[in-house]
Amino acid sequence: MDAKVNGNVSFWYADIGLPAFRAPLPGDLEADVCIVGAGYTGLWTAYYLKKADPSIRIAIVEKEFAGFGASGRNGGWLSGGFGWSREKYLKTSTRGAVIDMQRAMYGTVEEVISVTEAEGIDADILRTDNITVATNKPQLDRARAEYEEAKAWEMPADRIEFLSAADARARIAIHNVQGAYVLRGMARVQPAKLVRGLSDAVERLGVPIYEQTTVTGIEKGKVTTNRGTVRAPIIIRATEGFTAGIPGNERLWLPLNSAQIITEPVSDALWDEIGWKGHELLGDAAHAYCYAQRTREGRITMGGRGVPYRYGSQTDVRGQTQQLTIEKLHAILARLLPQTKNLRIDHAWCGVLGVPRDWCTTAGLDPETGIGWAGGYVGLGVSSSNLSGRTLRDLILRRDTELTRLPWVNRQVSKWEPEPMRWLGVHSMYQLYRMADEREEAGLDHTSKLAAIADRITGH
């Protein structure tokens, strides 16, 4: 099935209109802090820093427009999610510190909502649950294991629940659902509305955002661009999935591709068949994984990996994705919700997310160079970026706080392998995941060993 629109950044901008460009950098200038990238990470950092010290001079430089990257293309999950592995953080920290980080991550949901209310940002935010459904026995076992792990890591009992097949089906009429793991205290959001509102709030505080300004180099005290040079003792690299495009950072974070489709508005009669009255954030326990939401105007988005990685860490062209990816996402939607198989696909798009070699998010500031960073969100950036902004604020202002002592701060990881090894590794991993999912869907009664091989290949 073709999509009516493919690319043009994302549906979220089709919903509200693409913004006009702000003025570019007018030439050389000096600042106290230069932030590279006007997505969630850069904007949250500027917001909290300027709130804490109104006298500080901040300049934000952005290649396209504020929210052009993942901040304006993501699945709209304000999840407060922790990431892939508590155990990995535990290797360099303590159990108590990892639990503190888990608590801080989940606190981002209410923090973001609080700021949107204070700043008058309408981002279609709706508090809801995240439901991970299982449609075969291996998925059910993994979903239950995730639930048990959350309990073991002291997740509050009122935040988690495991549903029977009947209870899961009562929420959303997923085909062949066998059970589901529920995380409460999350929210749905229209991501482009959030980033546009946040950029306006940052400007109101007196922080200039220089768009159409391409960064060509970052070094101690200096950011070089095609429009001039910004000299600042503190520089924050807030480029996430686009980090590999900055010279010297080609192997730091891998730009992993993610794509989405969105349906035409669903009729009331069809919603009655589907359920989904709680507007839950919907994912599944497959290895390849998908993510979906019910939007403000009654559409369904469905996201997944698509073509996972472009050779040489290349990125897409304004969100345009492959036809094969559109067809695969439509097949996932039809498999989970066959009631939707005849719905028109109105828009398809894609973007990139940053993946460190150990798949763990980091935020930090090098006191020697004055260069800071945050990212590697592995798909959880809507909420994690807020914690990044507050953490970078404290690091820049040299505050010793609970946030600066969390185990993700100044975490150092190895670089990704040179090409063609990383292309081969990532594509092999996802091919093995797809094969594992197919075997499990065909009746395998335990998690396929192919998935474990995939994990070993890339350290997932």
pLDDT tens by residue, the chain, 460 residues: 789 999 999 999 999 999 999 999 999 999 999 999 999 999 999 999 999 999 999 999 999 999 999 999 999 999 998 766 898 999 999 999 999 999 999 999 999 999 999 999 999 999 999 999 999 999 999 999 999 999 999 999 999 999 999 999 999 999 999 999 999 999 999 999 999 999 999 999 999 999 999 999 999 999 999 999 999 999 999 999 999 999 999 999 999 999 999 999 999 999 999 999 999 999 999 999 999 999 999 999 999 988 889 999 999 999 999 999 999 999 999 999 999 999 999 999 999 999 999 999 999 999 999 999 999 999 899 999 999 999 999 999 999 999 999 999 999 888 999 999 999 999 999 999 999 999 999 999 999 999 999 888 878 8
Residues across the chain: 460
User: Cβ contacts of residue 323 below 8 Å, gap of 6+?
Assistant: 2
Residue with tokens 């010793």: 400
**Of 420, 425, 434, 432, the residue nearest 325 (C-alpha):** 434
pLDDT score for 83: 65
Peptide bond between residue 420 and the one before it cis (omega within 30 degrees of 0) = yes
pLDDT score for 89: 92
pLDDT score for 84: 66
- AA letter at 268: D
pLDDT score for 306: 80
CA separation, residue 244 to residues 37, 221, 240, 372, 402 (Å): 13, 20, 9, 16, 31
pLDDT score for 459: 82
Contact indicator for 257, 310 with CB cutoff of 8 Å? yes
